[in-house]
Amino acid sequence: MSDLSTVVSAGRVASQLPPFHRLARRVLRDPVAVLGIGLVIFHLLLAVFHPWIAPHSTSALVGVPLERPSAEFWMGTDQIGRDYMSRLMAGGQVALTVSLLGVAIALLVGTILGLVAGYRGGRLDEIVMRFVDTLMAIPELILIAILTLSFGKDLSALVIVVAIVYMPGVVRVVRARTISLASLDFVRAAELRGERTGAVLRREILPNLTGLLGVELAVRTSSAILKISALSFLGLGISQPTPDWGLMVQEAMGVVFTDPWFLLLPALMLSSLIIGLNFMVDGMARAIGSSTRQAG
């Protein structure tokens, strides 16, 4: 009897947790999601702390060009004599910074537009969705290339480019979810109490979008990192001397047959980050699906 009461009380405590906390508990019980979170944290730590833990400056000429891995240079030196390990550790900083900031802005603007368009409907909804459809009709990579050539390649310009490219998708997802939530009883009850539109959106609908927005942040960040790296590879993104994995892959193409690790190592770093983000997204999606089934 005591065991049964303990289980019941634990269930009550879990049900009283805020929605975000319940989602986090479910995600952390998923081994694949935990592995993904670990990989993402590893890359975030490298991006933040590489100036203090890297053995050399990323732009310093510290050895002869294309030196083989040794005790001094664990991963050798690049084509002009810079420490490759130091540049590899810093290679994700720009892509992560640009992607996270750009997607965060896209998420903020897209959520506001999607909430208002989905809840109010009418002419406002038509205007927003025709604008969204126009942007989404252009392939992402082509749109990013056009905007990059228009705005430039500095960090602030790339953040704006990422925000413009990924905002339409957020608007569509949030709008669709808002339309389905707006017809539910708890939203109707808030309207009957005389609450204003802003209060209904903020208190009733937005909290139910938390899990969805978390998945959107991770999915679109993963996509943005790949696109930024692809632009660097094509010569349209980050330029020298800034270390970037896509740029490092492009530079390694000339020595791929003699020094293949110059191509494999940045590709492995980029792949591990994308895999980590995808594992984390899968865990969040499963947790949200479990939460939805239990609520139903």
What is the third-level CATH fold of 93-219?
A: MetI-like fold (1.10.3720)
What pLDDT does 274 receive? 92
The 10s digit of each residue's pLDDT in 220-239 is: 998 889 888 888 887 777 77
User: How many angstroms separate the CA atoms of 247 and 84, rounded?
Assistant: 13
The 10s digit of each residue's pLDDT in 134-169 is: 888 888 878 888 888 888 778 888 899 999 999 999
Report which DSSP code applies to 85.
H
Q: Which residues contact 250 (CB under 8 A, 6 or more apart)?
A: 232, 233, 234, 235
Span(s) in the chain for CATH 1.10.3720.10 = 93-219
- The mean pLDDT of 272-276, rounded to a whole number, is 92
Q: Helix (H, G, I), strand (E, B), or coil: what is residue 242?
A: coil
Share of the chain above pLDDT 70, in %: 89
Tokens standing for 34?
A: 């935990």
